Amino acid sequence: MRRQKTAPYLFALPYFLIFLAFSVFPILFSGFISLNDWKGYNEPTFIGLQNYIEVFGDPRFYKALGNTLLLMVMIIPFQLVLGFLLALFLNSKYMKLKKTFRLLNFLPYLTTPIALGVIFALLFDPAFGTVNQVLEWFGINAINWTKEVWPARALVSMVTVWRYTGYTAVLFMAGITNINTDIYEASEIDGASSWQRTFRITLPLLKPVTTFVVLSTMIGCFQIFEEPFMIFNVAGKLVGGPNNSVLTGIWLFYDTAFSNQFRNGYAAAIAVCLFAVIAVISFVANKLMSGKEDG
Amino acid sequence: MKISKKVLALMLACLLVFGALVGCADNGGASSAAGTPPAGSVAAGGDVDDSLVNTELSGEITQWVWGDYEIRGAVDFNKYYPNIKVNYVSVPSDEYEQKILTALATGTDLPDVVNIESAARGQFNNMDVWERLDAAPYNLDTSKVLPIGIPLMSNEKGEIVCVQVDNCVAGYAYDRELAIKYFGTDDPAEMEKIFSDLDSFVEKSKAVGEAGEDYMFASVDDAYSAVSGLYQKDPVVVDGKLNTDKSVLPTYEFIEKLVANKAVGPYVEWTPAWYTSFASNNIIFYRAPAWFISFMMKPNDPDSVGKWGMMTPPGGGFNAGGTAYAIPKGAKEENKELAWAYIQWLTLSQEGAESFYNAHATSTLYAPAYDTDLYKGEPDPFFKEQNVTEKLNEIAADPRTTASIMTAYDFVMKNANAQALRDLEAGMSAQQAYAKFKTEVLAAATDLSE
């Protein structure tokens, strides 16, 4: 009896040990160092809220936050729609070689960031890239993908959508699989078309999955770093992209902590502020979406 | 049976925790040597002058290295110090500085010898975490170092905290065929007469731009790399104030004129496309220190014979890149003497200079070696039998040749400069680009003023 009581805790212990060591402690430590002037190699000096005051007056922070929100708007709708369509396609009973396509669909998610940077910098090189060559075949002027503000944002959005759509599709596929097939059979008997089944049955019943996908993609967008960093690290080592147009919150944090002036205390304050923003926006979005669902 | 299942589950759970912790320890320490680890240590062997062999010093030291460059450069070390074992630990170059900072922040073991690459030197030299090498017990003799090396090894207080290994004085490599096409000669001496100042580059660039086939430089970045060192004679920060009016601004003005003459190519430096520019036969000039020839030009233009020439830049040469070795204050006390023996042998001895030159065809900054036959060089078919080693050392000995003083703000300036170069490329005026550069620098380095 006693063993039965303790066993669940023992089973859960590994996770909580790891969670404490690699999540809780770093979060608390970040909070602590955000109150200090600390470059990592010197002794921390307690400066109270000075770092936070500086963050709130730092135009780069607002720029990074604005960029992140813009990228979010440019990414989420496409990722959601494409992911849903892919899921429908890969779940279709008319689909052949389902397993092969499901694997192919997931491959971009497995691409290493370094490969991603090199490949996309090559493809989208304004002067020599394949993409511009193809555009020119169709009579479209070459686009300065890595040198101008909006093309740079479009590039980062496209790469991010390409990388994560497969993952989103997997989530939708899991949701679709959970929908009771009796409902589809009944609707078929009632003469519903495939469009009607998609919009009247699949989509409404996927609402919890959609809510999760939207929230997790939003949080993911707040953490965008690898895609712009790797692309622009290869394409001219331009921190933040052209005119800081793709400087995201995490990139600003990384630059401040590791490559700019090693201001770890200030970088920690940026991280805490980002955490607060993500938490608030996620909370509000969750409330809004749950509210709609309840309604 | 029930008990055995529970025991099994518990063991699995423990294994999970253990596995995770072991994995983390590996990731946290540089000793994991992600990727392909180099050989463990250098073996002794070969005939050497016995009077130069030191058997008294013994022990093991560790150096974090980027690849086998460091190992091959010091391959003869154990012939002279047979009892010092150097353990080379491979750390990817793009993670190197971050791992050093992490080790410093967390207090974990640092290597006994640390590489400091030129781009990070300004910040790292000023971190007050390195042994001062021109004071006791190291007592580095600065007279044994080429004068150009001293600023590259010093912090802002003028203390020497590292020793640059390689001589990175740059000349201008040029495409001989294009030189004949546009300037009527490919002779280095004639080229130096034609390009006696930077105005002549601007003047000659008009014909190159008008032809519309070739470029003076591969990109605005290359033009910047070729010229900035010539203008940058003073520290870029003086008493907490930006001091770039006489260095960055004229460099931008030079680039503005080249861009207006359509004489700058579209190859953004260090991009995959840029690496193809060496074999594209449409770029006339590159600034080229010895490492650039070995690691950039020759590998990316392997089929060329006699294509290139080397000339002195107008106004003498300048330093471009380089790797320095430092001893962390936090290294094990008993290893510091050994680490210094290793660094001193490589960078401040004739034997080290020979070892490094034989491995990389690159000179060290050890001054007395330049009075010997070591660097007499030989005709290089890649450069149409020109003796490039001799030429680069001639540039290094030029009294006009200087090295920029490195500062803790170098990274900030590098970032702001990268954007300014893109703006210049897009047609922005030098004045506007420079104003933007200053604004960016001052925004990122809040303790600086104009």
Minimum distance, in Å, between the CA of residue A99 and any CA atom of chain B: 30
CA R_g for chain B? 24
Q: What is the pLDDT of residues A63-87, one digit of tens each?
A: 999 999 999 999 999 999 999 999 9
Structural contact between residues A282 and A215, judged by C-beta atoms closer than 8 angstroms: yes
Q: What is the pLDDT of residues A132-178, one digit of tens each?
A: 999 999 999 999 998 899 999 999 999 999 999 999 999 999 999 88
Confidence of residue A292 (pLDDT cuts 50, 70, 90): low
Minimum distance, in Å, between the CA of residue B120 and any CA atom of chain A: 9
Residue A233: the pLDDT is 82
Q: Which residues contact B245 (CB under 8 A, 6 or more apart)?
A: none
Of A129, A239, A259, the CB nearest to B418: A239
Structural contact between residues B412 and B444, judged by C-beta atoms closer than 8 angstroms: yes
Q: Is the pLDDT of residue A29 over 70?
A: yes
Q: Is the peptide bond before B137 cis (omega within 30 degrees of 0)?
A: yes
What pTM does this model have? 0.82
Tell me which residue has tokens 């003796």.
B387
**How far apart are alpha carbons A271 and A275 in whole angstroms?**
6
Return the minimum-mean-pLDDT range out of A245-249, A270-274, B20-24. Answer: B20-24
Structural contact between residues B319 and B152, judged by C-beta atoms closer than 8 angstroms: yes
Residue A285: the pLDDT is 85
Q: Is A18 on the interface with B (CB under 8 A)?
A: yes
Q: A235 contacts in B (CB within 8 Å)?
A: 268, 271
Residue B240: the pLDDT is 87
Of A42, A121, A148, the CB nearest to B271: A121
Minimum distance, in Å, between the CA of residue B177 and any CA atom of chain A: 24
Q: What is the 3-state secondary structure (H, E, C) of chain A?
A: CHHHHHHHHHHHHHHHHHHHHHHHHHHHHHHHHCCEECCCCCCCEECCCHHHHHHHCCHHHHHHHHHHHHHHHHHHHHHHHHHHHHHHHHHCCCCCCHHHHHHHHHHHHHCCHHHHHHHHHHHCCCCCCHHHHHHHHCCCCCCCCCCCHHHHHHHHHHHHHHHHHHHHHHHHHHHHHHCCHHHHHHHHHCCCCHHHHHHHHHHHHCHHHHHHHHHHHHHHHHCCCHHHHHHHHHCCCCCCCHHHCCCCHHHHHHHHHHHHCCCHHHHHHHHHHHHHHHHHHHHHHHHHHHHHHHC
For A196-219, what is the mean pLDDT?
90
Residue A6: the pLDDT is 87
* ipTM for this prediction: 0.80
Residue B336: the pLDDT is 96
Q: Is the pLDDT of residue A43 over 70?
A: yes
Residue A46: the pLDDT is 95
Residue A260: the pLDDT is 61
Q: Is the pLDDT of residue A262 over 90?
A: no
Q: A18 contacts in B (CB within 8 Å)?
A: 17, 20
Residue A291: the pLDDT is 64
Of B269, B273, B446, the CB nearest to A127: B273
Q: Is A37 on the interface with B (CB under 8 A)?
A: no
Q: What is the mean pLDDT of chain A?
A: 89
E strand or H helix at B200: helix B198-211
CB contact under 8 A, B411 and A13: no
**How far apart are alpha carbons A199 and A112 in whole angstroms?**
36
State whether the Cα torsion B200-B206-B207-B213 is positive or negative.
positive
Low-confidence residues of chain B, pLDDT below 70? 1-46
Q: Is the pLDDT of residue A17 over 50?
A: yes
Q: Is A242 on the interface with B (CB under 8 A)?
A: yes
